[in-house]
Amino acid sequence: MSNVFAGHRAGVSRRRFVQGLAAGGALAGFGHRFAFTAPLSASMPVLAGTEFALSIGESPVNFTGRSRPAITVNGSLPAPTLRWREGDTVTLRVSNALRDARTSLHWHGLLLPANMDGVPGLSFDGIAPGETYLYRFKVRQSGTYWYHSHSMFQEQAGLYGAIVIEPREPAPYHFDREHVVLLSDWTDQDPAALFHRLKKNAGYDNYYKRTVGDFAADVRRDGWPKTLADRKAWGRMRMTPTDLSDVNANTYTYLVNGAAPAGNWTGLFARGEKVLLRFINGSAMTYFDVRIPGLRMTVVAADGQYIHPVTVDEFRIAVAETFDVLVEPAGQDAYTIFAQDNARTGFARGTLALRAGLADAVPALDPRPILTMDDMGHGGMDHGAMDHSGHDMPGMPMHATTEAGNPLIDMQAMMPAPKLADPGIGLRGNGRAVLTYAAMRSIFEDPDGREPGREIELHLTGHMEKFAWSFNGLKFMDAEPLRLRYGERLRIVLVNDTMMSHPIHLHGLWSDLEDEHGAFHLRKHTIDMPPGTRRSYRVRADALGRWAYHCHLLYHMEAGMMREVRVAE
């Protein structure tokens, strides 16, 4: 056991060494820029105004010591940060310079006409090689958002970038300087090959199997009966409690603004300044736990929408979420921005500093978390009585008929709960103040005001070994669209029956999260669903057309966890 662990640590150390060989992709020419009220970091290209020319092509990048092809915008990875103003109409001419693949850009979290949403097969046909697609829409919101490809695995290959929208009215907080902090994951593998590897061996990256030594330690702590019952329960499910992510740092290199950890992206500050950090999780598959040792962070916006300020030491950011935080550096010349993956296998790292070249210590990874039956929504249940056949038992939530006996479902939550105040697996009791959904609250009341007229319940389902993911046991191609009536207010209830977290994104419409009493709580575009949770949110169907609705873990979406939503008169 110790030799295997030592070998793994050696592999990690070597990977972190070669991460210092290069900071990232090549940069080309990027059009016009203009000054803003708050200085921006110059490390990423920034395009601002109302008219943009974006060329999607292939560029070589080097994050691990060898050159690999990436899909880039204007030669940049990440793509240029786009800077808009609320109320403007923006025009984006997006050209496909790829040789043999269609492409697309989706403007994540933005309210716009369906034909501008950028989802091939729903919004349009995609952009063929050599063609240009004209996106034009009015900017109806402000805040921090991002854009990415919705074509195959191009997002994993580098096709993503930040969007910053200046508000028409001043923000309800002051800042002197701002930086975008775009987190992402990179693999040297061809993303399609990585997907096929997941289908063949979903546990490939899970090096942390429980051992005889772990069993003995559990017996000493919990006793024989409890330990044996726990092992039998996991054995019946054919799952492992150390399987927290499908792909981790054994495959990925984690990036901050296109820089690997040793590349040390640096954002500058001056003494006495209040700095706004716009965090975006633009990764394909990675949840990050973010902190800045020595600095408290005041979260002022979630998914581009203002919230009542809440001060924390750390936050978990699901794939596709954005958080705006204020910090006031004082007493140090440099601070580390530390974003470890939720499986504790690696990290992205940057620095806030008075000048370039400074750095602070990088923390050690936290201990790896171990999933429990409570985490799986089986709290208080007799493990021997758990039924995973797809049939409902007394006291269990109702499941769709398509789930019964379904070979693509390997478990169902017995006692799901909202868990809005739960910091999350691996963050509980760590001695730091951790952000939760319960702690965040929109600064405005329910923008619609009506009670939902009907309710749709969907279960997030899957089979870990088969790497099959779905809603209600039905993959995208086998499911009918969800049909909404234009103008209606409805409630969507999600129940996570799997042992994985899923960030669920509804295109074109806001998702207004409810509190545990069913009252409006928090407006978002992406709702995180940890294992064993049941969460509800309100939706106003105020945008006609065909919209994508899916898990934002890229390979889960591709494996089937996606639906079409149709809004019609």
The DSSP annotation for 284-332 comes to: SS--EEEEBTTB-EEEEEETTEEEEEEEESEEEE-TT-EEEEEE---S-
Q: How far is CA 466 from the centre of its chain?
A: 23
Nearest CA to 161 out of 145, 141, 150, 147 is that of 147
Diameter over CA atoms, the chain:
68
pLDDT of residue 304: 98
Taking residues 451-464, what's their average pLDDT? 96
Task: Note the pLDDT tens digit of each residue in 140-169.
Answer: 999 999 999 999 999 999 999 999 999 999
Q: Peptide bond preceding 225: is omega within 30 degrees of 0, i.e. cis?
A: no
pLDDT > 60? residue 353: yes
CATH topology of domain 2-172: Immunoglobulin-like (2.60.40)
pLDDT > 90? residue 40: no
pLDDT > 70? residue 54: yes
CATH match for 372-569 among 2.60.40.420, 3.30.300.30, 1.10.10.10, 3.40.190.170: 2.60.40.420
Taking residues 250-261, what's their average pLDDT? 96
Residues of the chain with CATH 2.60.40.420: 2-172, 372-569
Taking residues 354-383, what's their average pLDDT? 79
Q: Which amino acid is at 52?
A: F
Q: Is 472 left (phi over 0), alpha (psi -120 to 50) or beta?
A: left
Q: Among the ranges 204-208, 280-284, 375-379, 496-500, which has the highest mean pLDDT value? A: 280-284
How much of the chain exceeds pLDDT 90, in percent? Answer: 76
pLDDT of residue 528: 98
pLDDT > 90? residue 391: no
pLDDT of residue 318: 98
